[in-house]
Structure 1
Amino acid sequence: MSKTLDSLDDFRFEAGVTPFSSFWIPCVTCVLYFTLTRVFKLLVSNRKPLRSPSLLFFYNGCLSFFSFILFIALGAVIFEKSKLYTPHELVCGSATHQDGRLQFIYWLNYLFKYVELLDTFLLVARKKPVTFLHEYHHAATLVLCWIQQREYSTVQWVPILLNLGVHVIMYYYFAMTALKREIWWKRYLTTIQIIQFIIDLFVCSYAYGVFILNGFDFDKCYGTELGAISGIVILFSYLALFVRFYVNTYKKKQVLEKKES
């Protein structure tokens, strides 16, 4: 797979040059996202809920499939590099980030975050509740992907790879539930997401720690302080919100079930 991406070796994400790379695009998109979801709620308030299993299956199936393609592509490039670089160099070395194939995959992953905003509108159309966690996660991830590319964060491949892997499973789950299939492992999906954020935070904190201990030297761990801080803060907020969701959804349910029994 990595060899098929060799023609992209010269690709570079350039702020203000690469499509969708300008500062105002993710910012305006987020404002429109929060505004239009509320307008859409008003527009459909007197309409019947959307019932289109085939549409939901197609949408979620496509996102699962394309997440899988990007996961395999990114994994293949990192596997190739793991034979040339140490784990430290993989998360801190400038040579890792300067690979055009990786930057192209990062950019495609970033573009998919715009498509994934449709999740919310489909929920609204189906008259399903839209939680703060749902809206915040979609908007923050869009901004986070843009920042990490702009700030040259070498370590970004770790959260991107894990996120793509989780999305393969998550959108497959949504595709199956659209067909009314019983999925017994929903609870474990949330657990996997929490583990994902713990790993992300550990690796990103390591990279930022190297950056600090070496006197904020850009060359010791490639990436800027803005990229490091924004990444760690947003990932920590995800972890806190998903743990809270897990406790409220599963732990409290277990307590109630025990009391009833």
Structure 2
Amino acid sequence: MDVPVAAAPSIFPVNFYEHFAQGYQALVGKPAASFQYIRGETPLSTNLESFAIMATYFVVIFGGQAVMKNFNPIRANLLFQIHNFLLTVLSAGLLVLFVEQIYPILSQHGVFYSVCNSGAWTQPLELLYYLNYLTKYYELIDTVFLVLRKKKLEFLHYYHHSLTMLLCFTQLNGRTAVSYVPITLNLAVHVLMYYYYWRASCGVKIWWKKYLTIFQITQFIIDLGFVYFCAYTYFTATYFPHMPNMGSCTGTESAAIFGCALLSSYLLLFIQFFLKTYTKKPVVAKKDN
């Protein structure tokens, strides 16, 4: 039986969600409390929409690469700075709102409830999950800047950008309560990452890029610890109850399997990127014949 989460004081001196709700109503014309994600009715909630945009993304970036072969690089530095500044602020804002909503759930009911109980999928969190999902579409513009600047498109970049959008889509549809773990960690990474790109584009030398990649790898390790646990306890409780488990876990099976598989691939690819980028092979002197 789900236990409703009682109202609790904000973890911050100011209740940011109340201010967010006021801004939401002014912008959308409806109370934030009235939002409900309904597949097939809410914008960008169907497979057709998500796959169509993903296909368009690939056509634009690879078609753009072909077109840009005949042109000089387009720096668009001011637009690039604005883009990264907006994503820094947006990521930080969403991170604060998520932490504010998750804190009372954790403090009142504990970690297991927060990642496995359907009562942890609250209406305010559903709205935040949806808004976070929408930001993944905006983040696709990152690749457009690379194309305009005639930078090499790494497989990791467009694989990660396109499939993270799909990951958020599947977990939103699957209503996986554990979603807040990878999302909050990812938002923390994005605050630093987009801040790095913003400041670097302003000509500031940033020394901690290597440590940002280490943070990303650490993020996926933590993510996998949580999602593997949730998947394990769900599948054992459902199909192998004789095995040790902590009970069932909310969320669909397809969302759980896809999340585990994709996050595993991210970890392997980011480790490969780190080794390729930051591990220098020793130079061997040639011997004279």
TM-score range, shorter chain: over 0.9
Note the C-alpha offset of 1:3.
4.3
SS in 1 for 2:109: coil
Contact 1:8 1:100 in 2 (8 A): no
Confirm whether residue 58 of structure 1 aligns to residue 82 of structure 2.
yes
Higher mean alpha-carbon deviation, 66-75 vs 23-32, is at 23-32
Partner of 1:152: 175
Structure 2 CA distance for aligned equivalents of residues 205 and 2 of structure 1: 31
Partner of 1:182: 205
| Equivalent AA in structure 2 for residue 204 of structure 1 | V
Contact 1:2 1:80 in 2 (8 A): no
Structure 1 CA distance for aligned equivalents of residues 61 and 234 of structure 2: 40
CA separation of 1:89/1:4 partners in 2, compared to 1, >3 Å: closer, same or farther? farther
Structure 2 CA distance for aligned equivalents of residues 83 and 4 of structure 1: 23
| Paired residues, number | 255
Note the C-alpha offset of 1:4.
4.3
Partner of 2:185: 162
Contact 2:77 2:201 in 1 (8 A): yes
Structure 2 CA distance for aligned equivalents of residues 78 and 9 of structure 1: 17
1:220 pairs with one of 248, 253, 258: 248
Structure 1 CA distance for aligned equivalents of residues 50 and 236 of structure 2: 32
Structure 1 CA distance for aligned equivalents of residues 198 and 32 of structure 2: 32
Runs of 4+ with deviation above 3 angstroms: 2-10
Structure 2 CA distance for aligned equivalents of residues 5 and 179 of structure 1: 30
Contact 2:95 2:184 in 1 (8 A): yes
Partner of 2:42: 18
Structure with greater helix percent: 1
| Equivalent AA in structure 1 for residue 251 of structure 2 | G
Contact 2:235 2:248 in 1 (8 A): no
User: Which protein, 1 or 2, shows the higher relative CO under an 8 Å CA cutoff with sep ≥ 6?
Assistant: 1
Confirm whether residue 81 of structure 1 aligns to residue 102 of structure 2.
no
Q: Identity of counterpart residues, as a percentage?
A: 36
SS in 1 for 2:108: coil
Structure 2 CA distance for aligned equivalents of residues 189 and 237 of structure 1: 19
Note the C-alpha offset of 1:11.
2.8
TM-score by length of 1: 0.93
List runs of 5+ in structure 1 lacking aligned partners.
none
Structure 1 CA distance for aligned equivalents of residues 38 and 126 of structure 2: 10
Query: Which whole-Å deviations, capped at 9, do the CAs of 1:199-234 have from their partners, x for residues lacking one?
Result: 0000001111110121159x8211011010000000
Contact 2:92 2:188 in 1 (8 A): yes
Structure 1 CA distance for aligned equivalents of residues 255 and 201 of structure 2: 37
Structure 2 CA distance for aligned equivalents of residues 220 and 5 of structure 1: 34
Note the C-alpha offset of 1:53.
2.3
Contact 2:238 2:248 in 1 (8 A): no
Higher mean alpha-carbon deviation, 1-10 vs 226-235, is at 1-10
Structure 2 CA distance for aligned equivalents of residues 250 and 113 of structure 1: 28
Note the C-alpha offset of 1:259.
5.7
List runs of 5+ in structure 2 lacking aligned partners.
1-15, 22-30, 242-246
Confirm whether residue 128 of structure 1 aligns to residue 156 of structure 2.
no
Structure exhibiting the larger radius of gyration computed from Cα positions: 2
Note the C-alpha offset of 1:9.
4.0
SS in 2 for 1:48: coil
Structure 1 CA distance for aligned equivalents of residues 53 and 215 of structure 2: 29
Partner of 1:38: 62
CA separation of 1:46/1:151 partners in 2, compared to 1, >3 Å: closer, same or farther? same
